[in-house]
Amino acid sequence: MRARLGDRSLFSRLEVPIYLDHAAVSPASDPVLEAMTDAMQAGARLGIGAMHSWLEGSERARSNVASLLGVPSEEVALTGNTSQGVTAVARGLDWQPGDRIVLFRGEFPANVTPWLLAASDFGLEVRWAEAEAFRLDPEAALAELEPLLEGARLVAVSAVQFQTGFAMPLEAIGQACRRHGAELFVDAIQGLGLLPLSADLPIDYLAAGGHKWLMGPLGTGILWARPERWTELRPHHASWLSHQDGLSFLMEGEGLLRYDRPLRTGPASIEGGVANATGHAALAASVGLLLELGLPAIEEHVGRWVDALELGLLERGFTSARVAHGRSGILSVKPAEGDVLGLAGHLRERGASVSTPDGWLRFAPHWPNALDEVPTLLDAIDRG
Ligand SMILES: Cc1ncc(COP(=O)(O)O)c(C=O)c1O
């Protein structure tokens, strides 16, 4: 069966009638479940004999994600989650005491905590910008960012803010960073798999987890960096599999066990031990479906779904966080009256899976969501 926009037949086990929590955790489609089960079964049947097919699964995940990003596979590392990618850079750069980093208030903590730890361990100076200011008045926010960038070494920002769904102006922020010689790190977990995030943007690093818009399993993720950035990173996570010819002592006879083999640079420098091969097989399958459907078509479909719900909610007096200058797959709203938590509970009772991050009522549909879910949701709200 092929994937079709607005058709959840490939999610045959999904029990939630209207699933709108792709910004939290995507449900597993049948191909994802099958890919993971196949990889587990290969291990059950063959043990170490499954290694070849496991490695193939990991390489498929890497190359599928690389296709989404429009980069060569060799520039993509497979990680366990977003945080691991953030940490690899936060602890891998050759920091000098007093180096300045710029962080954003309002960001999800995964793109703040590792930087603050690095700041305290390496003596970095932290400057704060306001993520919300970019949603409310992007030109003023960019003007306020400029002085923070003077002398800055790195800026860390999310592609899409987790609570409002606001897609940050990465092009403009990246251009400003380049003017000031600062590197730009992007936490892309709330956009990758829907928005056209690619190496064409003026960004240096991009990290994401697999379980939201990429629709893969928990415990998978990626870190992309430009080739020249990879060479600058200290191999902080390096281990036995990071060495050149690191496997020879296991396969090629006696006397080859050594600890001084040079470390490989690039993604291998942070992929130190055996990988989450079953997770990667599943991630390869979920991203394979995204590639099959095509991100522009998915983005248009999700946009139509969100437009329809937003219109209905505005007519009912809701306030929407969505703005024309930064749309994503997330629609976050607040009702004119009544509490958000109560309303979310009401919707869940009526079969809609929604979230309430930081006090917003968040809807996050993806390619399997059908447009006819919208009137059902509005009806559930009217009956509230
Ligand atoms: C912007 C953002 N970054 C990161 C994460 C999660 O980080 P990790 O993949 O490390 O669990 C989330 C949500 O869980 C998020 O919304």
Q: Domain range for residue 336?
A: 295-382
- The answer to the question of residue 348 being in a domain is yes
- The pTM assigned to this predicted structure is 0.97
Does 144 share its domain with 56? yes
| CB-ligand 1 contact for 187 (6 Å cutoff) | yes
pLDDT for 353:
98
- The answer to the question of residue 2 being in a domain is no
Tens-place pLDDT, residues 105-154:
999 999 999 999 999 999 999 999 999 999 999 999 999 999 999 999 99
pLDDT for 237:
82
- Closest residue by Cα to atom 7, ligand 1, is 82
Does 131 share its domain with 270? yes
pLDDT for 223:
98
Does 153 share its domain with 232? yes
| Strands lying side by side in the sheet with 152-158 | 76-79, 221-225, 205-209, 183-187, 152-158, 100-105, 125-130
Q: Return the residue matching tokens 């590197």.
A: 183
Q: What is the mean pLDDT of the chain?
A: 97
Tens-place pLDDT, residues 202-219:
999 999 999 999 999 999
Query: Degrees (nearest 5) of the Cα angle 347, 314, 328?
Result: 80
Does 206 share its domain with 353? no
Tens-place pLDDT, residues 255-300:
999 999 999 989 988 998 999 999 999 999 999 999 999 999 999 9
Atom of ligand 1 nearest to the CA of 357: 16
Atom of ligand 1 nearest to the CA of 83: 10
- Closest residue by Cα to atom 16, ligand 1, is 162
| CB-ligand 1 contact for 99 (6 Å cutoff) | no
> Per the structure, how many domains does the chain have?
2
- The answer to the question of residue 216 being in a domain is yes
How far is 35 from 217, CA to CA, in rounded Å? 11
Does 365 share its domain with 232? no
Dihedral sign computed on CA atoms, order 291, 157, 211, 276: positive
